Amino acid sequence: MIACYADRTSLRPGERFGLCASGDRGPVSVEIARVGARREVALRLDGVAVGDHPTPADAVSAGCDWPVAVEITVGETWRSGYYDVAVTDAGGERAHHFICVRAAPGRESREALVLTTNTWHAYNYWGGANAYCDVAALMEGRAPLSEAMEGAVGVLSTQRPFAQMLLAPPPGMPRLVNLTKRGFRRRPWAGADTAWSRAHGQSPYDGSAGFLQKWEEAYVRWAEGTEGRVFDYLTDHDLDADPAALSPYERVIHVGHSEYWSAPQRDAVEAFVDRGGALVILSGNTAFWKVRWEDGGRRMICHKWRGLSAEAQDPARSTHLWSHPLFGRPEAQMTGLSFVFGGYHRLGNCVARGAGGYTVYRPDHWALEGADLYWGDVIGDSVPLIGYENDGCAVTFDEAGLPAPVPRLGVPGNLEIIAMAPASFAEADSPYAPLIPPEQLDVVAAIAFGDGGPAGQARVLRGHAVMASFERGRGFVFNAGTTEWAHGLAAGDPFVEQITRNVLARPANLA
């Protein structure tokens, strides 16, 4: 089998990276193509010699340490974007990796899309495991999910290939949402096409991250293709490694599933908003987990639930939920919302008969201008727009009958709730076997409500997906509150498109 990885994945024009590869079928060809409104081939190389190199037993944490097969220089004319790196051997077998090309200094646009690469790395199970579980043991039937989760790895190397079903799945990969409501006494299921998933050996983690055929590509095809927008690309790690990465921009966008954030990355985004920038979150489960980077971006530390016991670290360097009181920085301070108060919708038995769309509560909000929406209208139900993971807040109703945020766990008091839908952090007890990977409800309930017992856990199950906005410092934040927003754009939903146009047109307030 051919496999490959880039020794660095974010570059500017003129910079070089090493492509490391292993295979046993002779020289390979390399194709590098920008994937935007369309696929544009930037470089082809033939006859690249590749050796057959062993995979270390600890590749997940320590990397592969394969030699560089070829060094490649990013062309001076290459536009900023996501570039698919495809390596094909003599037998026609193909492996994919990626690079992100940043704009050349002084040639930046005013808008940046931040690729959710931290999340890609957390889900990557090439070598057998990821931050969630021993995926190989799970898929080979050697361990049930509860046992396989004990094999989760908290130190993740970037110096290894990606699982190909995650990074470059074949066409037709189903979405992580049930397209229809659960019928009367029908057994719950998870995913739009379970037959496809079985036929292709899809793991439970393949649909949760990656660019190709996922949320970010859907957004890019709409923004670049349908709307003709021009914007630059950055990776999560760019914001960690370069404190000035956001300096040229007025608007920063996160799409799909931006789940894992480091402290320097968060510092950069909060400073950007406070000085007047526009933060557009078209994502769900945003900034849920705190991670850190080491060794110049070659290793991501992500111990998740074990973050306070797996290593001896001071709070500034520990990894766990961003909402953990040890850090004093719940993610809702930045995003306005939290997955702790949201959850799943139309997946497994989590809101399995939900509408799949938002109910509008503030039709006069600036984000809905010209959208032909009125009180109580439901939008996105045919997409479905609400599915997989969604962020929310604790909610009350004011004297005018409008939903208002409960300023708990960092949720700002000036948050304006535009629309809502029910969501659940986990599946409630039922006659049906749970399909959503188990989470530590007691920990979440204690953090969210100060009660980790049964009453607190029951409250966690009663969440909401929320579309909202708020002003912070000189800037503003719009949060769509759902992973599936980009699928609304891909479907040409006119309400989702108009709201997105309004949000992208709202001016920043940078001095």
Task: Calculate the average pLDDT of the chain.
Answer: 96
Amino acid of residue 28? V
pLDDT tens for residues 170-226?
Answer: 999 999 999 999 999 999 999 888 899 999 999 999 999 999 999 999 999 999 999
Is 67:50 a contact under the CB 8 Å cutoff? no
**pLDDT above 90 (res 384):** yes
Dihedral-angle region of residue 494 (phi above 0 means left; psi in -120 to 50 means alpha; beta otherwise): alpha
- Six-digit token pair at 80? 């900023």
What are the backbone dihedrals phi and psi of residue 222, each rounded to the nearest 5 degrees, phi first?
-75, -50
* pTM for this entry: 0.97
Question: Tens of pLDDT along 482-505?
Answer: 999 999 999 999 999 999 999 999
Q: Which residues pair with 101 in a beta bridge?
A: 11, 81
For residue range 258-310, list pLDDT tens digits in order: 999 999 999 999 999 999 999 999 999 999 999 999 999 999 999 999 999 99
Give dist(CA 400, CA 327) in Å, integer: 36
- CA-based torsion, 499, 500, 504, 508: positive or negative: positive
Q: Which domains occur in the chain, in start order? A: 3-103 (2.60.40.1930), 119-505 (no CATH)
For CA atoms 337, 338, 339, 343, give the dihedral sign: negative
> What distances in angstroms separate CA 124 from CA 110, 146, 147, 241, 457, one per listed residue?
31, 19, 19, 21, 30
* pLDDT of the residue at 472: 98
Whether the link from the prior residue into 384 is cis, omega within 30° of 0, is yes
